[in-house]
Amino acid sequence: MTAHQATEMQLQLLESLHTQVCKTKNYSYTYGTAGFRDKAAVLDTVMFTTGIIAALRSMSHNGKAVGVMITASHNPPLDNGVKIIEPDGSMLLQSWESHATQLANIAANDTVTQLIQYINEIVATLNIDSNVTPSIVVGMDSRESSPRLMDCLLSTLSPVFMAKIVNHNMLTTPQLHFLTAYQNNHEPSSDDKTVISVSQYDSKFQTAFKDLMNLYEIKDFNDCFESLVVDCANGIGAPQFQQFVKGLPQCNSIKFVNDDYTHPDTLNNSCGADFVKTQQRLPAGVDDSLLNDNNLYCSFDGDADRIVFYYVGNKTTKFHLLDGDKIATLFAKFLKKLLIKANLTQDDIRLGIVQTAYANGSSTTYVLDTLHCPASCTKTGVKHLHHEAQTAYDIGIYFEANGHGTILFSDNFYSKVQERQTIAIKENDLSSLKASKTLLAFSKVINQTVGDAIADLLGVVATLLISKMKPSQWDNEYTDLPNLLSKVIVPDRTVFKTTDQERKLTSPPALQPKMDLLINKIEQGRAFVRASGTEDAVRVYCEGKHADDVKQLSKDIEALIMSEVN
């Protein structure tokens, strides 16, 4: 039941809830790269309206379950945020982002009558059937503010919308994406008492990994590395992955660091994927007892939808980062080889990589010139990469350099590989048969709804073990160009506007030509500037052949920005 057909009593209810919940007033919210994100203290109002938007979105899908996750990922402990998940597990349709933003800003700045008016407008314009009962699936990360914000989010759902709610409490963002899709595909019949929980996620991915390991009779990690050390950023990924690996005998040698999610003030503090990627060094907690040239290391971010790997070479002195670009290229090389073995051509199955402008230039060159695969570049934010991977390729491998990504396999992929499998059986072509089986089994290890640290970890470990590849061999496929990513705080970041997938600035107008002069001075120079969608800052990315040039370029561009905006 929406306000459209609401009784006087329900309207009064919405009004009193609005007064009760929405303490943050005279405030402007923006839907950023990955939903709403801000200091947790000001998020009450936007949580209230996000509940309403999620209900309307579910009703517009005829009552299919829509997910809502409360998290601020890699941000500091005092931040929080919220994002909405479509019934198929993907991110909220972009046209709804503006409804979500407008409703939040009306709730923060206008009267409740205007709020109800806007809800009615959405219902009318999108032809939403008010009699549909919405279904909402919710979850949150381990931040201290999350339970309070969950209350704000849920406040209208039962009393005003009579929504069906499944509350998964604490879990990772990708687990919630998966379970939202799962719930819509497994609507239990009336006599089915199955409770949808994280155990469905666990068993699906555990089984997929075990099947793949059995196909190659792999019992442990020994062929490639000694231990896998997992840094969980002191976030929700820790308990979830610790529980998950209990079901996997191959993973006995995994060691955990930064796994104390019960102290949310330590979340992402000197650890986690974002710290390791941006600082290009080991996280806190990897002490001498864990340092070993033969180990492989990885870091999750705060909500476990990102992962980066690394290892230490040269008698533990040198840190080598294996980031999202390295993960994408590892997968591309592995899958391409399998396609060839299965007698499938690039015309049968189009395999491609999707990156953003933050991808290291060397990785793009390697994809194009060594792997001979197509590469696309999109704007920052996985929603853009996901869309391109889905529309341009049959095997769409997308990763942001920071480790957020996954692989999408099209219907054509499944039908062509099945076809090849049947032919291989008929012709008794065992090598081709095994390649087809591997392709199908591997696709099940991947979480195709969204980037997932746990599923990506399984994919990387399986790829290395099957290919008998050590971390250093993986790394040696190509060498990253020296690069620097920095932030500049400016009075108003919205004046920074870009074009060409964010690679060029159009505003402030004088900046790009001045930057080009600096970039052209250095060998293999490349740099771009854009406003962050998750932080109040402008990001500067620079790369070039020599590290010293890159440092200087970065400093010069930062100085240019400061002189331009002040």
Whether residue 533 is annotated as binding a ligand: the answer is: yes
Least distance (Å) between residue 399 CB and Mg ion: 13
Please state the separation of Cα 434 from the chain's center in Å.
31
CA distance linking residue 113 with residue 106, whole number of Å: 10
Window of 70-78, 234-242, 415-423, 503-511 that interacts with Mg ion by CB under 5 A: 70-78
Instruction: Using CB atoms within 10 Å of the CB of residue 42, give its burial: 0 to 12 exposed, 13 to 18 middle, 19+ buried.
Output: middle
73, 135, 376, 432: which one is catalytic? 73
**Contact (CB, 8 A) for 163 and 65:** no
Of 38 and 303, the one with the shorter C-beta distance to Mg ion is 303
Site map (CB under 5 A) of Mg ion, residues 28-67, x = contact: ----------------------------------------
Counting contacts by CB under 6 A, is residue 76 touching ligand GN1? no
Using alpha carbons only, give the angle 345, 334, 378 rounded to the nearest 5 degrees.
80
Side-chain-side CA neighbours of 17 within 13 Å: the count stands at: 25
Of 205 and 496, the one with the shorter C-beta distance to ligand GN1 is 496
Whether residue 202 is annotated as binding a ligand: the answer is: no
Q: Which of 307, 240, 273, 264 is nearest to 142 (CA)?
A: 264
323 binds, among ligand GN1, Mg ion, none (CB under 5 to 8 A by kind): none
Q: Could you say which residues in the range 118-147 bind ligand GN1, by CB under 6 A? A: none
40 binds, among ligand GN1, Mg ion, none (CB under 5 to 8 A by kind): none
Using alpha carbons only, give the angle 508, 513, 515 rounded to the nearest 5 degrees.
90
Counting contacts by CB under 5 A, is residue 301 touching Mg ion? yes
Site map (CB under 6 A) of ligand GN1, residues 367-406, x = contact: -------------xxx-----------------x-x-x--
**Contact (CB, 8 A) for 242 and 211:** no
Site map (CB under 5 A) of Mg ion, residues 305-324, x = contact: x-------------------
Least distance (Å) between residue 454 CB and ligand GN1: 17
CA distance linking residue 398 with residue 313, whole number of Å: 28
SS3 527: strand
Whether residue 539 is annotated as binding a ligand: the answer is: yes
380 binds, among ligand GN1, Mg ion, none (CB under 5 to 8 A by kind): ligand GN1
Of 339 and 453, the one with the shorter C-beta distance to Mg ion is 453
Sign of the CA dihedral running 98, 101, 104, 110: negative
Whether residue 305 is annotated as binding a ligand: the answer is: yes
Of 107 and 529, the one with the shorter C-beta distance to ligand GN1 is 529
Of 173 and 443, the one with the shorter C-beta distance to ligand GN1 is 173
Least distance (Å) between residue 250 CB and ligand GN1: 30
Residues pairing with 318 in the sheet:
313
Least distance (Å) between residue 83 CB and ligand GN1: 9
73 in catalytic set: yes
Residues 6+ apart with CB under 8 A from 298: 228, 229, 230, 231, 307, 308, 309, 310, 457, 460
DSSP letter, residue 255: E
Counting contacts by CB under 5 A, is residue 452 touching Mg ion? no
- Select from 73, 90, 146, 295 the one that contacts Mg ion (CB under 5 A): 73
CA distance linking residue 174 with residue 382, whole number of Å: 13
Least distance (Å) between residue 488 CB and ligand GN1: 13
Q: Could you say which residues in the range 487-516 bind ligand GN1, by CB under 6 A? A: none
Of 33 and 364, the one with the shorter C-beta distance to ligand GN1 is 33
Whether residue 401 is annotated as binding a ligand: the answer is: yes
CA distance linking residue 108 with residue 27, whole number of Å: 6
Q: Could you say which residues in the range 518-557 bind ligand GN1, by CB under 6 A? A: 532-535, 539
Amino acid at the residue 168 = H
Least distance (Å) between residue 278 CB and ligand GN1: 8
Strand-by-strand arrangement of the 526-531 sheet: 483-488, 538-543, 526-531
The residue number with the shortest CB distance to Mg ion is 73
Of 259 and 323, the one with the shorter C-beta distance to ligand GN1 is 323
303 binds, among Mg ion, ligand GN1, none (CB under 5 to 8 A by kind): Mg ion
CA distance linking residue 321 with residue 298, whole number of Å: 9
Whether residue 343 is annotated as binding a ligand: the answer is: no
DSSP letter, residue 427: T
Site map (CB under 6 A) of ligand GN1, residues 168-207, x = contact: ----------------------------------------
Whether residue 530 is annotated as binding a ligand: the answer is: yes
Residue with tokens 């189009």: 350
Kindly write down the DSSP assignment for every residue of 37-91, as one continuous string: EEEGGG-HHHHHHHHHHHHHHHHHTTT-EEEEEE--TTS-TTEEEEEEE-TTSSB
Whether residue 73 is annotated as binding a ligand: the answer is: yes
Whether residue 199 is annotated as binding a ligand: the answer is: no
CA distance linking residue 501 with residue 356, whole number of Å: 8
Number of chain positions touching Mg ion (CB under 5 A): 4
Whether residue 301 is annotated as binding a ligand: the answer is: yes
Of 304 and 440, the one with the shorter C-beta distance to ligand GN1 is 304
**Contact (CB, 8 A) for 253 and 228:** yes
The bridge status of strand 65-70 relative to strand 135-140 is parallel
Window of 282-290, 293-301, 428-436, 546-554 that interacts with Mg ion by CB under 5 A: 293-301
SS3 415: helix
CA distance linking residue 530 with residue 357, whole number of Å: 11
Of 182 and 496, the one with the shorter C-beta distance to ligand GN1 is 496
**Contact (CB, 8 A) for 363 and 355:** yes
| Residues lying near Mg ion in the complex (CB under 5 A) | 73, 301, 303, 305
Binding residues for substrate: 400-402, 530-534, 539
- Catalytic positions, written as ranges: 73
Binding residues: 73, 301, 303, 305, 400-402, 530-534, 539
| Residues lying near ligand GN1 in the complex (CB under 6 A) | 33-34, 73, 358, 380-382, 400, 402, 404, 532-535, 539
